[in-house]
Structure 1
Amino acid sequence: MNSVPYSLYYRFGHCSMGGLMLAEADGHLHAILLGDDKASLLADLQQRFPNATLHEGDESMDLALQTALAYVDQPRGAFPLSKPLRLRGTALQCEVWHALSEVPAGSTISYAELARRIGRPRAVRAVAAACAANPLAIAVPCHRVLRSDGDISGYRWGVERKRQLLAREQELAAVIA
């Protein structure tokens, strides 16, 4: 993790699942957070990036924000990147997040299978913890990870949001097929 102070610019918007906050620096997306209101999302952002000085972004961030907001309602295919992602985490977290990015919309994977895919079959709990630490909701689709029995388990941004995201992806995948 970065311990050098830096600036992070955020933009907040509303989507069908509540609030969405996007944060960037140096032309990279650092965070996409889902939540109920701007204040709680700002607190989450500061907690995730304790060395960052947060600044409200300007209209130059609107394309990225609108892209993320639209994707929540119409999650077709891979997340459409308007800017490259900046993954900040441990080596294991980054491995998990990269593997998650390969799980197609409308599909799911178990925590155990995800652990096997990264070559760490005994690291199921660490994989679950990496999913919980994901700062890039929807872009790194941790909502596509289920328990081995197929049930929905925890989700950093709420189980109901996870349920809705999965349902939308599966509906769109069925229409496309």
Structure 2
Amino acid sequence: MSIDSTVLNTPTGPLSILAGPDGEVRAAGFTPDPAALLPLVHPTLRAPLRPRADLGPVSVAVRSYLDGDLTAIDAVPVRQSSGGEFMAHAWQVLREVPPGTPVTYTRYAALAGRPPAVRAAAAACARNAVALFVPCHRVLRIDGTLGGYRWGLDVKKWLLGHERRLTTT
């Protein structure tokens, strides 16, 4: 078994994507080095990387998102393992946050069904291995500031601006 990997050019830099043989995205992040993503993949889902020029429907969805179809990434299957029910549920909830309408960590915890679990919601964002497809960039601090983002605040700012521009026009 192997994991297919590709690097797509985006306006905010290279996006590396790792997908299993079933086509499910196992990791994604704004780095030119797909191998840098492998440590983010749960050990039970890891395999040697096989570079590919294109990942078919996954690549099409990313290009469509960048071209303005902000919901194109929603249908892309993802697979990541957390070892906990809350984390898995929180990631699914995050996929339901509409583009252009970021939420605070407090609101995210409430949407995930555990309003007092703000730190657990923040941990779900921090441990998310499939950036863009599970859009942790859509979560902000309670005061509306950006907070952290594994791939840098400039990337987070660009993604939020891209979505805001397309949802307010």
Give the shorter-chain TM-score range: 0.7 to 0.9
- Provide structure 1 residue ranges, at least 5 long, that are not aligned to the other structure: 1-5
- Structure 1 Cα separation of the partners of residues 62 and 48 of structure 2: 20
Letter in 2 for 1:10: S
Q: Percent identity, aligned pairs only?
A: 34
Which consecutive aligned stretches of 4+ in structure 1 deviate over 4 angstroms post-superposition?
Answer: none
- Structure 2 Cα separation of the partners of residues 156 and 18 of structure 1: 14
Q: Does the 8 Å contact 1:29/1:85 carry over to 2?
A: yes
Give 1:27 deviation, angstroms: 2.6
Within the candidate set 17, 30, 37, 1:34 is matched to: 30
Letter in 1 for 2:39: Q
Structure 1 residue 108 corresponds to structure 2 residue 102: yes
Q: Does the 8 Å contact 1:114/1:127 carry over to 2?
A: yes
Q: Please, which moves more after superposition, 24-33 or 102-111?
A: 24-33
Q: Please, which moves more after superposition, 53-62 or 7-16?
A: 53-62
Q: Does the 8 Å contact 1:72/1:138 carry over to 2?
A: no
Within the candidate set 2, 7, 11, 1:12 is matched to: 7
- Structure 2 Cα separation of the partners of residues 102 and 63 of structure 1: 20
- Structure 2 Cα separation of the partners of residues 114 and 103 of structure 1: 9
SS at match of 2:73: coil
Q: Quick one: structure 1 residues 160 and 103, their matched pair in 2 at CA, closer, same or farther if it must change by over 3 Å?
A: same
- Measured against aligned partners, the alpha-carbon deviations of 1:14-63 in whole angstroms (never above 9, x if no partner) come to 2111111111112322122112x22xx412x2211345222224356244
Q: What's the TM-score once normalised by structure 2's chain length? A: 0.86
- Provide structure 2 residue ranges, at least 5 long, that are not aligned to the other structure: none
Aligned to 1:94: 88
Letter in 2 for 1:104: P
Structure 1 residue 55 corresponds to structure 2 residue 62: no
Structure 1 residue 23 corresponds to structure 2 residue 13: no
Within the candidate set 60, 68, 72, 1:74 is matched to: 68
- Structure 2 Cα separation of the partners of residues 70 and 165 of structure 1: 14
Give 1:75 deviation, angstroms: 5.4
Q: What's the TM-score once normalised by structure 1's chain length? A: 0.82
Q: Does the 8 Å contact 2:2/2:50 carry over to 1?
A: no
- Structure 2 Cα separation of the partners of residues 95 and 30 of structure 1: 16
Letter in 2 for 1:19: P
- Structure 2 Cα separation of the partners of residues 27 and 79 of structure 1: 13
Give 1:80 deviation, angstroms: 4.8
RMSD: 2.1
- Structure 2 Cα separation of the partners of residues 34 and 105 of structure 1: 19
Q: Does the 8 Å contact 2:65/2:72 carry over to 1?
A: no
- Structure 1 Cα separation of the partners of residues 160 and 142 of structure 2: 16
